[in-house]
A and B are shown apart, each in its own frame.
Chain A
Amino acid sequence: MSAIAEKLYRRRRLKNSIALVMASAATLFGLFWLVWILWTTLVNGIGALKPELFYQMTPPPGEDGGLANAFFGSMLMSILAILMGTPVGILAGTFLAEYARRSYLGEAIRFINDILLSAPSIVLGLFVYTLVVRPMGHFSGFAGAITLALIVLPVVVRTTDEMLKLVPSQMREAALSLGVPQWKVTVQVLYRSALPGIVTGILLALARISGETAPLLFTALNNQFWSHDLSGPLASVPVVVFQYAMSPYDTWHELAWAGAFMVTVFVLCISLIARAIIARRKVAND
């Protein structure tokens, strides 16, 4: 009897050890790719960094140049996208958290918003293409910015909704009992309390659109020259990186790595800042 129990126990212990070793191996497996990808980007990117990146235009094949117009185009479209997507997102998030918390409409919007959050971005690009580019007859930076705004929107809606829900209801009740109208309670009390969270949402959205490539391919297209004309084609870093990386030219590959490096560093910095804001808020609430 005890021999059988002993054997069974040993088998269970062995199975447990194997499973735990496999779990640790899986984690190492995940970290291994992270390190490999970041290392590649770092080594190739730093090797390709040079001051010309920031003041010369994207070159034709075989010539030297920089990415100045692409940086500018990306910046322009990202800022515009944030300016368009954020207000609508905050208002929609307010609707979900303050006006439709338990209603069917609110649940439906929340559901759709979550789907929009993970929907393939290329689909949004096609949407804006049929909505803006086709009627206008040509590609434009403005269309690119609208596409990016549609990616910003669900991120901001989600974070605003969640952050407003975290505001204690005593705060609302206290303000309302003083006779403050509800819109003022929302704007001057609730927004102020939820501000760090909302800012985090905007930063996460910015991080997301800075590396976004696919939907820009057929909305903003690309532009080899310096342009600040939003009604015409506009260059952006990810699209230039895509075009140059797929090309057979070494000088273009190098520029692509430099662009990829800059985008990665920017995105990672923004995510770290967003994380820091959230972490500090948690400490403050405890």
Chain B
Amino acid sequence: MSTDQALPASALAAHNDNTARRAESDRRADNAFRYLVTGAGLFVLLALAGAAFSMLWGGKLAFSTFGISFLTTTDWDAVGHKFGALVPIYGTLVTALIAMLIAVPVSFGIALFLTEVAPPWLRTPVASAIELLAGIPSIIYGMWGLFVFVPVMSSTVIPFLNKYLGPLPILGPLFQGPPLGIGMLTAGIVLAIMVIPFISSVMREVFLTVPTRLKESAYALGSTTWEVSWNVVLPYTRSAVIGGVFLGLGRALGETMAVTFVLGNAHHLTASLLMPGNSIAATIANEFSEADSEIYQSSLVALGFLLFIVTFVVLAIAKLMLMRLNRNEGAK
């Protein structure tokens, strides 16, 4: 205060004026920055909404022309302008199902190995190696599938399946067919390899959140490692494990390149898993740049819209399941 009094009145006024102006400009800059970041945040919402609406718009023609029969018929006739999406929808669901049947137990095993079985020095390197699988671009899986895995399938695996599973009463028709190598089973296996790292890394992370006290109590009662995992760790993390599985399912449904290489792009509905088929994503990738008529292109966009809706729902379920574990964690 004493220094203020020593200053001439005019200097003091100038100083106050300066501070006020400074505060004013800071306030304005703060507001501008707030608008800027809010705008960027809203842009994320806008991007997803825009994607949904633009595809609905693009697929409008197909939906209005074919109605519900778009989902239930198998015609895919570019010349006669008749399109039904049952084959790609069926292929998408079947390949994703095969992938999950293989990937879920394997991922559980990997997560178990990395949290309970492996010696500590081995855990980090193996986990990183498995996560490396997730980083490999999908087109590499596709090329490997086409040039390396398909020949193996057609020369050894498919004859084997034909011989031993083909004659079975109910499952038999699934495994009968010529040894082409290309087909839904091959695509499902390649998808399984692709989603294993996603599911196993989610499972590993949630297994690590289980309180040590809980596990040690079970061990102290004489449980084996397996009993601890199955009766303590898994129930504790159930919702997040389901979330991880759905996350993998979302990936498997939408995966394009790896499947396009090994699925064969055939528009026939067959019971056999060994026959070429199609999936929504593969159909779009194969045919979009060649779609010459308005209705053809619209049908492909409509397929994209279906894929978008399905993956959105699956991923939303995954996210909600994963959030549930976090909430329980927070409540403690």
- Which residues of the partner chain A approach B137 to less than 8 Å between Cβ atoms? 210-213, 238, 263-264, 267
Contacts of B36 in A (CB 8 A): 91
Binds B, one of A64-72, A224-232, A241-249: A241-249
The interface on chain A, measured as residues whose beta carbon lies within 8 A of the other chain's beta carbons, has a size of 88
B142 to chain A minimum Cβ distance, whole angstroms, is 8
Q: Is A53 an interface residue (CB 8 A)?
A: no
- Encode B117-136 as 1/0 by CB contact (under 8 A) with A: 11000000010111011011
B48 touches A256 (CB 8 A): no
List chain B residues, Cβ under 8 A from A89.
40
Of A16, A22, A92, A127, which one neighbours B41 at CB under 8 angstroms?
Answer: A92
Number of interface residues of B (CB under 8 A): 91
B302 to chain A, nearest CB (A): 10
Interface string of A88-104 (1 = CB under 8 A from B): 11011011101110000
| Residues 115-163 of B contacting A (Cβ, < 8 Å) | 116-118, 126, 128-130, 132-133, 135-144, 146-148
B139 lies within 8 A of A242 (CB): yes
With an 8 A cutoff between CB atoms, is B17 at the interface? no
Counting CB contacts under 8 A, is B50 at the interface?
yes
Q: Which residues of B contact A23 (CB under 8 A)?
A: 109-110, 112-113, 116-117
User: Contact at A264–B136, with CB atoms within 8 Å?
Assistant: yes
By the criterion CB–CB under 8 Å, are B136 and A118 in contact? Answer: no
- Check if A61 is an interface residue, CB within 8 A of chain B: no
Binding site secondary structure of chain B: helix
Given contacts A16-B224, A37-B141, contact A268 B132 (CB under 8 A): yes
CB contacts (< 8 Å) of B148 on chain A: these are 36, 40
Assess the B281–A214 pair: CB atoms within 8 A.
Answer: yes
Q: Are B141 and A109 in contact (CB under 8 A)?
A: no
Q: A-B contact count, CB below 8 Å?
A: 268
Q: Is the CB of A211 within 8 A of B307?
A: no
- Decide yes or no: A26 and B113 within 8 Å by CB, A114-B319, A115-B312 being known contacts: yes
Given A26-B110, A34-B133, A271-B132, A115–B48 Cβ distance below 8 Å? yes
What chain A residues lie within 8 Å of B113 (beta carbons)? Answer: 23-24, 26-27
**Nearest neighbor of A149 in chain B, beta-carbon distance:** B47
A183 CA to B32 CA, complexed, in Å: 9
Q: Which residues of chain A from 1 to 56 have a CB within 8 Å of any chain B CB? A: 12-13, 15-16, 19-20, 22-27, 29-31, 33-34, 36-38, 40-41, 44
Are B58 and A130 neighbours in the complex by a CB distance under 8 Å?
Answer: yes
